[in-house]
Amino acid sequence: MDEVQTIEAAVLSFYRGGSEQQKETHKWLQQVQNSPQAWSFCWELMQLNKSSEVQFFGAITLNSKLRNFWVEVPKEAHHELKQKLLETIVVFGNGPKIVLNRLCISLGLFIVHMLRHPTVIEEVTNMFLLEQLGNLSKVTQIEILMAVLEGIPEEVKNVRTQIPREIVSQELNRNAEFVMQTVVRYLNEKLSQTTLEAHDMNGLINAAKCVGTWVAHGNVRLDERETTVQVLLKAVHYCYWKEPKDDGCLLPEENELAETALKSLTSIISSYATQNAKYSVTVINFMKMFLDVLVPILDAEYKENNDNENLALMIYALFISTLECFSSAIFDGIVTESEEVSKVYTRTVDMLIKCTDKPGTYPVDESCSTYAMEFWYMLQEEVLAMGPSRHKIRCLEAIRPVYAHVVKVLVRKSQLPTESSLHKWNDDDLEAFRCYRQDIGDTLLSCHDVLNNQMLDVLSEALDESIMYLSYDSQSTENWTLLEATIHAFCSIAQKIEYTEHQQIVKLLKVLNEIPYEKYNDKLFGMALETVGAYSEWIGDNPKYLPSAISLLVKGLNSTKASQATLGLKDLTSECQKEVVPYAVPLLDACRSVLQDGRLKNAEMIRLMYTVGNILSVISYENIIVYLDAMVSPCFEELQVHVQNNDISEPTKARVILRLDMISKLFSSLNIKKTANEGEDKISMVVGGQKPCYPAGEEPVPGPAPVQPILLILEKTMDLLKNLCTLWMHDETVVDTLCKALQQALTNLMDDIKPLLNEICFLVLSILNSNCVVSAVDIAGNFILMFYNDMEYRPMMVQLFTAIMDYNFNQMQMNLDKLSRIADLIETFYAFNTKIAKKLSICYTHIPLDYLKLMDYATKCMMLPETGPMKKSVSFITMFVKESINNPAMVQVVMMHGENIIRTTFLCIGGTALRTQVEIFADIFLAINCRYPQALIQWMKVLETPNFPTAFVSATDKEQFMRNVIKERVSKRLVQDYVRKFAALCRNVVEYENNK
């Protein structure tokens, strides 16, 4: 008794104590639950004189014991346990509900353990149906029965039972029809009555849930589910239409029953999703039933702010699920001789057009219209996937008018909220609407696939209408939303528009330049700027429209929508780099002016530097030097001031990072050789791929190539960058940003970086020896890969390689018990070594280092929970083994570490790695089997160790796995399959897979 009182006090303390106390108490209560004594005290905790918290703890303790510790119950105690369970259910038959629900789950768990007895489900069911449970009312007993039956299939997924899963699955299938007949009969009897009592609702809800959980079991054809479908539809119909509702809102119980019935209908349909062609006639029949019963409800709820919006959502979800599972059957109605199929298709399309055009604004006034987006994608995909045929042409002709109408609906639905309506919106609503607009954009792309150039006609017409609407009330400042939505639609399909000079696009660009943006919300201007950027590629093919595009984007630089303007300029100068030359100087002047003003945000300044680099790449060399002084020098001058002042404050750090990011972005786009080469390519194309011919002796002598501007910048600023690095060496963020800037310079300069190579390498070397950030390893690795074979620079490359290895070895040694702390560093380190092993494996011969340690750490990193370092370690080991065969030093490492590699691989497959990721370990087996087949046979014998890698896998299974892997040297897919199945065996989950 003392023990029960102690537990009772702990439970009350848990519910009523502070968070720290709760943590300790919870841990102790879990230990108590797992103890064998819990089988006894759980009943005492469920006495009526106990508090509801204590009763609930007793009930969940019983749950836990039945789910996880059934092995502790002797066979002779099974009957007694069943009786206790039933008696306790009777005690709590009228509440508390939370305790009764747990007891129902417990009875379901008991039944699962008893499934070896073929009549256990029937016996328990008849006990409730014949009202053999004490003085509980018939209604209560039916409610409890339905709750118990509902939980059985769910509990099978989680319970630890001594019955093999195959037998459990067979028993569920065998009992499924009995359960379904019992439940459907009960639903039908109740719903056939003139009126239902309020106390019947819980039983009906549980019964409807029961249908959903059991429908996946049993070997029943879909057409044999018709009675079940009819009964569930009857439940929805009854709940909605049974009596007029004063406020239009269903009662909570009615709403729950209707929604549960709809969920179960969806479960029925999705259970047969893989048998599309088999049930075409049945699905058409079911869809007709759905349309007959459910569309009138949707029509009644076709209004803003309706009170049963969630019910409408559930109805649409059922239709969409049916279409997903059986699209072919329904889409046959596009063009068909069958009047019935044609009507079902037509009614479905009409219903989903209305869904798309649901009154109100998503998501504050309605939440259904988003469901229809998927349908418009499915329909176009179904038709466009047809092979070339007359039938396909007829289908396209049939659906084009529908899609033209949908486009106009989508434009209207995508209107932004006005300022006067924003008070109804919260942050979640705004984010939901942003995603909704993105979905509309994606759907418009699907519409374009159907309509092609007709899409531009539809949008051009919509543009005319929106401009006309704007002019109806020229004084209004809130009638801009339709125009903005139309421009958004044009923007969404920009990627689909071909280079042809479409007059609709010409008109759009003209309109964008004529709108008096100052009169309206700045979001209209923002969308105009975004759209110009989206049509950059088209403008590149039609360069006469470039001036107006530049003019609008430059205007945007000095507005609140500078972000869209900088994005648009970035795209425009990338796609139209050659064409922008005549406008380069004024455009650079505009960029310089706005950068000097200081009104741009950091991200906008950084992005604008990419545009500056694009433009500088195509102007004269003299102008490049002038504008570099004017636009880039301020960045370095500010950095110089900070270095001279030894200023390492947080505000200064932010400015330093900004300036380095701006320089990095400039380095990524400024390349005069790239544009020159493109020009040569165009000349070559003009003359049929041949070099131009010149008269004898008159071939022009090429002059010295101008120095790349990035190299000029680095030559002038290298000392500053060194000093900056020294000042900020303690700060990873600053050093990382500096390394990324140098990496951008290397990417653009390539061999042209040689005049500064040693200086930059010394700088990187100082970073590797002090604060080895990830990007420092990246740039050092690229230097090594590019210049190791150049004997002039090899000594420096050896220093870089050694520094990387030493720093990472030291870090891994210091964090040996907590390698996860340096997961990013490990990921980069082994990505670097994978490249070295693949492209420059001679490094492992020329440079004397402890490569056994390299492999040892790799095997340790394989077992990390973080995906990145685990995968990169596996990739390194795989590549090292593959490339080792012609390198004696590498062969020695593999031979000395091979058994450990295999052992660690098995530990990962057995449980260390996630099951979803074990297939990657097939690469190791394949690599070793390809290069060292005899050694693999020997190393695989580690599997002969008892209980290795886990106790769940048998010796026979291990032997079979060994044979399969050793035999297969070519097919990666097969070895991945072996590994995946072996991992399931090791984790004792193979029976679940067999059950699928």
Question: Running DSSP on this structure, what letter comes out for residue 222?
Answer: G
d(CA 572, CA 551): 12
Read off the pLDDT of each residue in 264-288 and give the average, rounded to a whole number. 89
d(CA 348, CA 316): 11
Q: What percent of the chain has pLDDT over 90?
A: 73
**CA–centroid distance for 686 within its chain:** 46
* Closest by CA position to 33, among listed 5, 78, 63, 12: 63
- pLDDT higher than threshold 50 for residue 736: yes
In 161-287, DSSP assigns E strands to: none
Contact partners, residue 135, CB within 8 Å, separation at least 6: 90
Read off the pLDDT of each residue in 838-846 and give the average, rounded to a whole number. 89
At 218 the pLDDT is 83
The type of residue at 480 is: W
- pLDDT tens-digit map of 757-810: 999 999 999 998 887 788 898 999 999 999 999 999 999 999 999 999 999 999
d(CA 986, CA 910): 5
pLDDT band at 267 (very low <50, low <70, confident <90, very high): very high
Read off the pLDDT of each residue in 970-990 and give the average, rounded to a whole number. 86
- pLDDT higher than threshold 70 for residue 276: no
Read off the pLDDT of each residue in 903-910 and give the average, rounded to a whole number. 94
- pLDDT higher than threshold 60 for residue 683: no
At 752 the pLDDT is 92
**CA–centroid distance for 309 within its chain:** 28
d(CA 180, CA 214): 7
Q: Tokens standing for 611?
A: 């545009």
d(CA 238, CA 258): 8
d(CA 415, CA 484): 7
How far is CA 970 from each of CA 894, 925, 929, 931, 974, rounded to the nearest angstrom?
21, 11, 9, 12, 9
Read off the pLDDT of each residue in 597-611 and give the average, rounded to a whole number. 94
At 706 the pLDDT is 82
Read off the pLDDT of each residue in 454-462 and give the average, rounded to a whole number. 96
d(CA 148, CA 101): 9
pLDDT band at 993 (very low <50, low <70, confident <90, very high): very low
Read off the pLDDT of each residue in 908-928 and give the average, rounded to a whole number. 92
Read off the pLDDT of each residue in 559-582 and give the average, rounded to a whole number. 94
At 882 the pLDDT is 94
At 244 the pLDDT is 62
Is the four-CA dihedral 503, 508, 513, 516 of positive or negative sign?
positive
- pLDDT higher than threshold 50 for residue 877: yes
- pLDDT higher than threshold 90 for residue 534: yes
- Residue with the larger pLDDT of the pair 70 and 471: 70
d(CA 146, CA 140): 10
- pLDDT higher than threshold 70 for residue 440: yes
φ/ψ of residue 502, rounded to 5 = -70, 130
Average pLDDT value over all residues in the chain: 90
At 313 the pLDDT is 94
pLDDT band at 663 (very low <50, low <70, confident <90, very high): very high
- The pTM for the full model equals 0.84
Q: Is 47 left (phi over 0), alpha (psi -120 to 50) or beta?
A: beta
Question: Running DSSP on this structure, what letter comes out for residue 308?
Answer: T
- Residue with the larger pLDDT of the pair 893 and 471: 893
pLDDT band at 687 (very low <50, low <70, confident <90, very high): very low
d(CA 454, CA 451): 5
How far is CA 91 from each of CA 99, 177, 699, 812, rounded to the nearest angstrom?
10, 31, 106, 61
d(CA 648, CA 650): 7
Read off the pLDDT of each residue in 378-387 and give the average, rounded to a whole number. 92
At 531 the pLDDT is 97
- pLDDT tens-digit map of 11-70: 888 887 777 778 888 889 999 998 999 999 999 999 999 999 999 999 999 999 998 889
Question: Running DSSP on this structure, what letter comes out for residue 74?
Answer: -
Q: Are 837 and 792 in contact (CB under 8 A)?
A: no
Q: Tokens standing for 635?
A: 């960045």
**Total number of residues shown for the chain:** 996
d(CA 650, CA 502): 52
Q: Are 749 and 710 in contact (CB under 8 A)?
A: yes
pLDDT band at 101 (very low <50, low <70, confident <90, very high): very high
Q: Are 12 and 51 in contact (CB under 8 A)?
A: yes
* Closest by CA position to 940, among listed 965, 919, 914: 965
Q: Tokens standing for 392?
A: 């396909």
Q: Tokens standing for 18?
A: 């502070």
Is the four-CA dihedral 113, 115, 117, 120 of positive or negative sign?
positive
At 247 the pLDDT is 62
pLDDT band at 875 (very low <50, low <70, confident <90, very high): very high
